[in-house]
Structure 1
Amino acid sequence: MIKKALGFTFALAALPFMANADDIQVAVASNFTAPVQALAPGFEKATGHTLVASFGATGQFYAQIKNGAPFQVFLAADDSTPAKLESEGEIAPGSRFTYAIGKLALWSPKDDYVDEKGDVLKQNTFAHLSIANPKTAPYGLAATQTLEKLGLTEMLKGKIVEGTNITQAFQFVSSGNAELGFVALSQIFKDGQVTEGAAWMVPEDMYDPIRQDAVILKGAANDAAAKAFVDYLKTPEAAKIIESFGYTLE
């Protein structure tokens, strides 16, 4: 059964009917795509609700929410956007919490192209470096902070190609349109290892912590499905899945 939502969406088949089962519309920062897909079966089995997810840039979701998009839960790629929504009275009181802490990686699908210290950036032998838009995507901001910390902003600015979100930034690299790029570790990591190519795990002191907060939006303040999903994110089962993609938890 396919459910429609704003942007790129997926839904998993509903399990046999359970009393009071509902669809839940969730706006998900694109770096968290794979974890949500992995979390959905367990959530649906435990609750009977059907998860309908839309993936995109956090800044774009903020604009959609302010314009009345019918999301019930928002999983952002930062903590500042949910905090802003909270200050504007757009969320259910007390619902904001950090569901994951993200990590940045410099990645290429080519084996051995990226060294363990990221010196490939200083060697400057590539034509294109992919990042997400730093104005709307927290991982893009983290990438620009890293380049600044390395003193490479001016040297590499002519080689940077920007994706609208971290998924597009990843696609630029995976398709070969950029030799390497800054991506979310979760896009290339599973069960303790990089799944393809070579990567530099950017030290966390090179960028501001990527604390990813979740909120229940005000229109769903009394929605049982929304509360069930948020509660599921806090379970040990969900924590194990989230950590398997390279995130850390509070």
Structure 2
Amino acid sequence: MRRTFLLTCLTTLALALSPSSWSAELHVMNSGGFTAAYKALAPGFEQSTGNTLTTAWGPSMGAAPEAIPNRLQRGEPADVVIMVGYALDELIKQGKVIADSRTGLADSRIGMVVRAGHPKPDISTPEALKQVLLNARSIAYSDSASGVYIERELFKKLGIEQQVRGKAKMVPKIPVAGVVASGEYELGFQQVSELLPVAGADFVGKIPESLQSVTLFAAGVPVGSQHPAEARQLIRFLASPQAAAEVSKSGLDPLPTQK
């Protein structure tokens, strides 16, 4: 009787102290630009905290069902959202993300790829980039922040909006580098961090700084998060100096100060 009671107590204590009894399963929604950095950093967070991450992927905006605002609208569970800063700000205005949880993670710049093995043209100056675009047979760009900028502003700044109208296309949902790797498009433009992981495409470089549209990626805790404390812990980890090396390796620019 006494032995049975002791075994029961020990079992109860073991269950109470086991990781599964205190760790949290965090639901994260992550947009493309921060994907590579997130995948590199996530295992370290899980190992050091005992928390686990369940991740849904989708763009920061747009009509696609996978887009983060649309996922939240449908009521999908989320403890952390990682997305373009101004899209996150809109969710804060709508009362869907806790305002004081907003934390800048990294800056993202636009780059260009060609099919693997093809010559890499010079795009180091605005005039060089202009000539490359005029000479290209086809141009692809994303349906997220970088692509919106290219379509609405970059071509106008270069004075070639009419000349490229018939050969420049926005590619929805899939990585732009993928359609360049397949040979469907000659040139591809997207945020650098989304170009680098794709096999079959060679990174040419970033577009000139005077023509850049720098996109801030930021994270926040949605209203209704089931684990707000652990969610903020994840965000602090992703924004920490210890994460900067992986952030930089992914093609993003770590922030010197919070934005």
Which of residues 39, 42, 48 is equivalent to 2:41?
39
Per the alignment, do residues 219 and 153 of structure 1 end up closer, same or farther by CA in structure 2, a change over 3 Å counting?
A: same
Does residue 228 (structure 1) correspond to residue 230 (structure 2)? The answer is: no
Q: Which runs of 5+ in 2 are unaligned?
A: 1-17, 62-66
Q: Which runs of 5+ in 1 are unaligned?
A: 1-15
State the distance in 2 between where 1:202 and 1:239 align.
23
User: Which residue matches 1:155?
Assistant: 163
| Letter paired with 2:168 | I
Structure 1 position 189, deviation (Å): 4.4
CA contact under 8 A between 1:114 and 1:200: conserved in structure 2? no
Does residue 104 (structure 1) correspond to residue 110 (structure 2)? The answer is: yes
State the distance in 2 between where 1:196 and 1:171 align.
7
Structure 1 position 161, deviation (Å): 2.3
Greater helix proportion: 2
Per the alignment, do residues 224 and 18 of structure 1 end up closer, same or farther by CA in structure 2, a change over 3 Å counting?
A: farther
Q: TM-score, normalised by structure 1?
A: 0.81
Count of aligned pairs: 226
Q: TM-score, normalised by structure 2?
A: 0.78
CA contact under 8 A between 1:57 and 1:164: conserved in structure 2? no
User: 3-state DSSP class of the match of 1:219?
Assistant: coil
Structure 1 position 217, deviation (Å): 0.5
Superposition CA RMSD, Å: 2.4
State the distance in 2 between where 1:112 and 1:153 align.
25
User: 3-state DSSP class of the match of 2:175?
Assistant: helix
Does residue 87 (structure 1) correspond to residue 93 (structure 2)? The answer is: yes
Does residue 187 (structure 1) correspond to residue 200 (structure 2)? The answer is: no
CA contact under 8 A between 2:102 and 2:220: conserved in structure 1? yes
User: 3-state DSSP class of the match of 1:218?
Assistant: coil
CA contact under 8 A between 1:107 and 1:114: conserved in structure 2? no
Structure 1 position 72, deviation (Å): 1.5
Q: Percent identity?
A: 23
Deviations 1:65-87 (A, max 9, x none): 123221211111x2221111111
Structural mapping, 1:1-250, within 5 Å: 17=19, 19-59=21-61, 60-76=67-83, 78-110=84-116, 111-117=118-124, 119=128, 121-123=130-132, 124-133=134-143, 137-144=144-151, 145-165=153-173, 167-189=174-196, 197-220=202-225, 222-248=227-253, 249=255, 250=257
Per the alignment, do residues 198 and 58 of structure 1 end up closer, same or farther by CA in structure 2, a change over 3 Å counting?
A: closer
Structure 1 position 19, deviation (Å): 4.9
Please tell me whether Structure 1 or Structure 2 has the larger radius of gyration of its CA atoms.
2
| Letter paired with 1:129 | I
CA contact under 8 A between 2:104 and 2:239: conserved in structure 1? no
State the distance in 2 between where 1:40 and 1:109 align.
30
CA contact under 8 A between 1:100 and 1:247: conserved in structure 2? yes
Q: Which runs of 4 or more aligned residues in structure 1 lie more than 6 Å from their structure 2 counterparts after TM superposition?
A: none
State the distance in 2 between where 1:183 and 1:72 align.
27
State the distance in 2 between where 1:221 and 1:213 align.
20
State the distance in 2 between where 1:64 and 1:18 align.
27
State the distance in 2 between where 1:222 and 1:21 align.
10
CA contact under 8 A between 2:72 and 2:78: conserved in structure 1? yes
